[in-house]
Amino acid sequence: MNWKRMIFFVGLGIAALAMIGLTSDPACAQQRRERVKEGAPAKADIGENALKVYVPPGDLDEYYAFLSGGHSGQLYVFGLPSMRHIRTIPVFTPYPATGYGYDDESKKMLGGLTWGDTHHPGLSETKGEYDGRWLFINDNAHGRVARIDLRDFKTKQIFGPIPNLAGNHASVYLTWNTEYLFGATRFSIPIPKGTAADVKDYKEKYKGVISAIAVDPKDGTMSLGWQIVMPPWNYDVADAGKLVSGDWWFVTTYNTEAEFIDGKPLEITASQRDKDYIIAVNWKGVEGEIKKGNFTEIDGAKVFDPVKTPGFVFAVPCAKSPHGVDVSPDGKWFIGNGKLSPTVSIFSFEKLQKAIQEKNFAQHDMGIPVVKFEAVTEADIPVGLGPLHTVFDDKGFAYTSLFVESAVAKWQWGGGGREWKMVDKIPIQYNIGHIASCEGDTVSPKGKWVFALNKLSKGTHLPVGPDQPESGQLIDISGPKMKLIAQAFPEPEPHYAQIIKTDKIKNVIEVYAKAENKNPNAVWDPKDAKVVREGNTVKVWMTQIRSSLMPNVVRCNEGDKVIMHVTNIEEMRDELHGFGICGYDINGVPSPGETLSYEFIADKPGVWPYYCTNFCSALHQEMQGYLIVNPKK
Ligand code: K7E
Ligand code: CUA
């Protein structure tokens, strides 16, 4: 047993003890509270710390933080440093609060699915800097990706389900000029989708897929670029290169054992090997091959095979089921976060290029060349137990989340004569997953804050029953020692976040300009509101303004199709009106200047009130009408 294995097993042992300790309530409740205090600021610093995050009413935060909402399918907008939750942006899940998923357009975009599993938001970049145009996010459940426009903070496109790919975890991880975002198989399946093969044939018949989704530079529209067929491994977390490594994309793998055995948990079969891989993809090179026509079409996708055409996809050995891979701001290093190994592994991009040139391969694994570990490794830093993700600041330090140890490790960035070394550690409440830093994904991180996105909030909030929120903790990284300053409780599940300077998001719309509303069904004057019958269809053009919904009576017959076009004709910001029909599952909130449409069958006879659901004026309660559905004769 080499020393690394030993550290690993000792680590696992401690981890197991820690887990047992965690689950044996209530014996350790006190201990947990002590632990919070351990990470919490000293009494003497409380005043000073409080001022750092205090943003007086009326003042604005310095940063936006966009938090993934996990299996809520949504995104949360927080302000930093105040940690105030400002907005929920619905993405993959209907959200009655904004009416998302109820009008025809957003309903269609959801494609009949009512949830998603968002993990990794990604802001669009130009030359490796956030440009404030779009925010993308993945759906790990159904293999989709979505685009949010940062002019109105609304979901504009859902792309997918992406063909050939099941579970889209290592996503979105945009290239540094937003040419592509990516999707990748978390759960290998036989392809194309819809093919059945038993897990007995896992190695031969199951496939992994990496999918490049092209982004239109003008309007952000996503379309299927191309795909790479990969061995049946699990593709976990990714990062795109930048600057020198800008043509490359990296993704971690686990289960390179390529086994799935009926009755034997994956946690056992996938942890046999000492090392799994970070896959390095020369996306620019693959793009060139696709342009040359070097692909097979599978389920409408142009699929490139790296085994048939070597030279673009390589495996870098990394200890043991690594989770995150993170490319440094200068693009020169990529870092594997050990998960089951108590280290971060630093790899040199330059060395990787050299090893590839010299064909310095240890072997081929399922056809993919594996570069020699010794040829590409730069340093291994023992950071602590369960390293998952690493982010960067502006002063040459990196911050790694330690899931098992519930801590954040700060370590010094090496290279060029500087030593790679641990410099600080701070306890976190509790089981930190991702960590985010201010513009930390860009070529110029801003420093100042690190946001710890923790899985468990145990015992650190008012009791709310057995289902508890996650926890997010703000760490001040401006000094040599990290300081835990504040805590918030985002709902599930803030995997990753993007933090961007507020002044980078320009031209935020407060009222949609009337001139830009191209909807042919918009009406702008209550006098033009009307009900028109065409055969068995009843069409309604409705206006909303303080304090009426016009028309205020809609008559139809049981079984009619009803199509309502509702325009909020307000020209003042924040003047929202809702539109809810009692007893029918219709609920909408058109923004000022927006027209939304609702189609349904009037299948319930009777008199059904409709009303404004947003308290909008002193006469809000008067904002109502009746849908009269006459029964079939
Ligand atoms: Cu680490 Cu889905 Cu990025 Cu959660 S993943 S933590
Ligand atoms: Cu409009 Cu209440």
For residue 230, how far is the Cα from the chain centroid? Answer: 23
Find the CATH number of the domain harbouring 328.
Answer: 2.130.10.10
Residue 390 contacts residue 344 (beta carbons within 8 Å): yes
In a domain, 18, yes or no: no
In a domain, 93, yes or no: yes
In a domain, 486, yes or no: yes
Report the nearest-CA residue for atom 2 of ligand 1. Answer: 119
Q: Could you tell me if the CB of 496 is within 6 A of ligand 1?
A: yes
Among 479, 504, 529, the domain boundary falls at: 504
pLDDT of residue 39: 63
Q: What is the pLDDT of residues 192-223, one digit of tens each?
A: 999 999 999 999 999 999 999 999 999 999 99
d(CA 90, CA 98): 8
User: Whose CA is closest to 485, among 18, 50, 26, 14?
Assistant: 50
Atom index in ligand 1 nearest the CA of residue 493 equals 4
Ligand number nearest to the C-alpha of 613? 2
For the segment 258-274, the average pLDDT, to the nearest whole number, is 92
Whole-number Å distance, alpha carbon 284 to ligand 1 midpoint, is 27
Report the nearest-CA residue for atom 4 of ligand 1. Answer: 495
In the structure, what pLDDT confidence band is assigned to residue 30 with cuts at 50, 70 and 90?
A: low
Same domain? For 585 and 475 the reply is: no
pLDDT of 33 above 60 = no
In the structure, what pLDDT confidence band is assigned to residue 44 with cuts at 50, 70 and 90?
A: confident
Ligand number nearest to the C-alpha of 235? 1
If you average pLDDT over every residue of the chain, what do you get? Answer: 93
Question: What radius of gyration do the chain's Cα atoms show?
Answer: 27
Whole-number Å distance, alpha carbon 455 to ligand 1 midpoint, is 10
Q: Could you tell me if the CB of 120 is within 6 A of ligand 1?
A: yes
State pTM to two decimals.
Answer: 0.94
Mutate to test the pocket of ligand 1, among 441, 496, 498 (most ligand atoms within 8 A of CB): 496
For the segment 305-331, the average pLDDT, to the nearest whole number, is 96
**Residue holding tokens 């995997």?**
495
Among 457, 480, 504, the domain boundary falls at: 504
In the structure, what pLDDT confidence band is assigned to residue 35 with cuts at 50, 70 and 90?
A: low
In the structure, what pLDDT confidence band is assigned to residue 538 with cuts at 50, 70 and 90?
A: very high
Report the nearest-CA residue for atom 6 of ligand 1. Answer: 433
Among 457, 483, 504, the domain boundary falls at: 504
Residue 527 contacts residue 569 (beta carbons within 8 Å): no
Whole-number Å distance, alpha carbon 399 to ligand 2 midpoint, is 47
Same domain? For 353 and 422 the reply is: yes
d(CA 376, CA 355): 7
Same domain? For 281 and 418 the reply is: yes
Q: Could you tell me if the CB of 495 is within 6 A of ligand 1?
A: yes
Same domain? For 521 and 494 the reply is: no
pLDDT of residue 460: 85
Q: Which residues sit with their C-beta closer than 6 Å to ligand 2?
A: 577, 612, 614-616, 620, 623
Report the nearest-CA residue for atom 5 of ligand 1. Answer: 495
Whole-number Å distance, alpha carbon 549 to ligand 2 midpoint, is 9
pLDDT of residue 100: 98
Kindly report the backbone phi and psi dihedral angles of residue 141, in degrees, each rounded to the nearest multiple of 5, phi listed first. -80, -45
Whole-number Å distance, alpha carbon 60 to ligand 2 midpoint, is 28
State the residue range of the domain holding 379. Answer: 40-449+471-504
Whole-number Å distance, alpha carbon 190 to ligand 1 midpoint, is 25
Same domain? For 117 and 225 the reply is: yes
pLDDT of 5 above 90 = no
Whole-number Å distance, alpha carbon 139 to ligand 1 midpoint, is 12
Ligand number nearest to the C-alpha of 547? 2
Residue 109 contacts residue 158 (beta carbons within 8 Å): yes
Same domain? For 417 and 483 the reply is: yes
Find the CATH number of the domain harbouring 543.
Answer: 2.60.40.420
Residue 307 contacts residue 279 (beta carbons within 8 Å): no
In a domain, 581, yes or no: yes
pLDDT of 20 above 60 = no
Mutate to test the pocket of ligand 1, among 67, 172, 237, 471 (most ligand atoms within 8 A of CB): 237
In a domain, 15, yes or no: no
pLDDT of residue 297: 98
pLDDT of residue 388: 98
Whole-number Å distance, alpha carbon 494 to ligand 1 midpoint, is 9
For the segment 56-64, the average pLDDT, to the nearest whole number, is 97
Atom index in ligand 1 nearest the CA of residue 389 equals 1
* Prior bond of 96 cis (ω within 30°): no
Ligand number nearest to the C-alpha of 325? 1
In a domain, 5, yes or no: no
pLDDT of 397 above 60 = yes
**43 secondary structure, DSSP code:** G
In a domain, 608, yes or no: yes
**42 secondary structure, DSSP code:** P
d(CA 211, CA 229): 9
Atom index in ligand 2 nearest the CA of residue 613 equals 2
Same domain? For 541 and 560 the reply is: yes
In the structure, what pLDDT confidence band is assigned to residue 570 with cuts at 50, 70 and 90?
A: very high
pLDDT of residue 615: 95
pLDDT of residue 6: 46
Same domain? For 202 and 275 the reply is: yes
Same domain? For 92 and 211 the reply is: yes
Report the nearest-CA residue for atom 1 of ligand 2. Answer: 577
User: Whose CA is closest to 26, among 458, 344, 506, 622?
Assistant: 458
Q: Could you tell me if the CB of 169 is within 6 A of ligand 1?
A: yes
Q: Could you tell me if the CB of 119 is within 6 A of ligand 1?
A: yes
Same domain? For 477 and 527 the reply is: no
In a domain, 509, yes or no: no
Whole-number Å distance, alpha carbon 321 to ligand 1 midpoint, is 14
Atom index in ligand 1 nearest the CA of residue 403 equals 6
Mutate to test the pocket of ligand 1, among 119, 182, 408 (most ligand atoms within 8 A of CB): 119
Same domain? For 172 and 294 the reply is: yes
pLDDT of residue 633: 82
Same domain? For 342 and 427 the reply is: yes
Whole-number Å distance, alpha carbon 230 to ligand 1 midpoint, is 22
Please tell me the total count of domains within the chain. Answer: 2
Q: What is the pLDDT of residues 322-333, one digit of tens each?
A: 999 999 999 999
